[in-house]
């Protein structure tokens, strides 16, 4: 399964805006229909997603979406935003857990 996903993903890499980094496509056991990308060109899809995909084109569209996250450096942006938020909470002298609980309470 991983070899197949990797083959589909590698065919998409030349069309990305960061084709020169090494991409690794992996399958993760799980019933959820999910895929995610991390720094360094790693793309993961769940077995649940593979079961739900009707054809290779659907899988390719999900992989292309995740490649787009890598190309857009979204993981780096998320880390930067998290570090900034954490730093602001610390600089304000607030307890991170209290700030988190407050945020969750406001969402409910």
pLDDT tens for the chain, residues 1 to 108: 999 999 999 999 999 989 999 999 999 999 999 999 988 899 999 999 999 999 999 999 999 999 998 887 655 455 545 545 555 555 555 555 555 454 445 454
β partners of residue 99: none
Domain ranges of the chain: 2-72, 78-107
Q: What is the pLDDT of residue 81?
A: 53
Instruction: Return the CATH fold of 2-72.
Output: Zincin-like (3.30.2010)
- The count of other CB atoms within 10 Å of the CB of residue 59 is 20
Q: What is the pLDDT of residue 83?
A: 47
Is the whole-model pTM more than 0.75?
Answer: no
3-state secondary structure of 31: coil
Q: What is the pLDDT of residue 39?
A: 83
| Bridging pattern class, strands 35-38 and 24-28 | unpaired
Q: What is the pLDDT of residue 42?
A: 93
| Bridging pattern class, strands 42-46 and 24-28 | parallel
């Amino acid at each position: 399964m991983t070899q197949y996903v990797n083959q589909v993903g590698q065919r998409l890499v030349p069309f990305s805006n960061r084709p020169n980094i090494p991409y690794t496509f992996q399958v993760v056991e799980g019933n959820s229909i999910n895929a995610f990308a991390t720094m360094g060109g790693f793309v993961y899809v769940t077995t649940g997603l593979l079961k739900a995909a009707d054809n290779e084109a659907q899988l390719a569209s999900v992989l292309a979406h995740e490649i787009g996250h890598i190309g857009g450096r979204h993981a780096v942006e998320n880390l930067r935003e998290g570090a900034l938020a954490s730093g602001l909470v610390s600089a304000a002298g607030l307890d991170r857990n209290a700030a988190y609980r407050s945020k969750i309470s406001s969402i409910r």
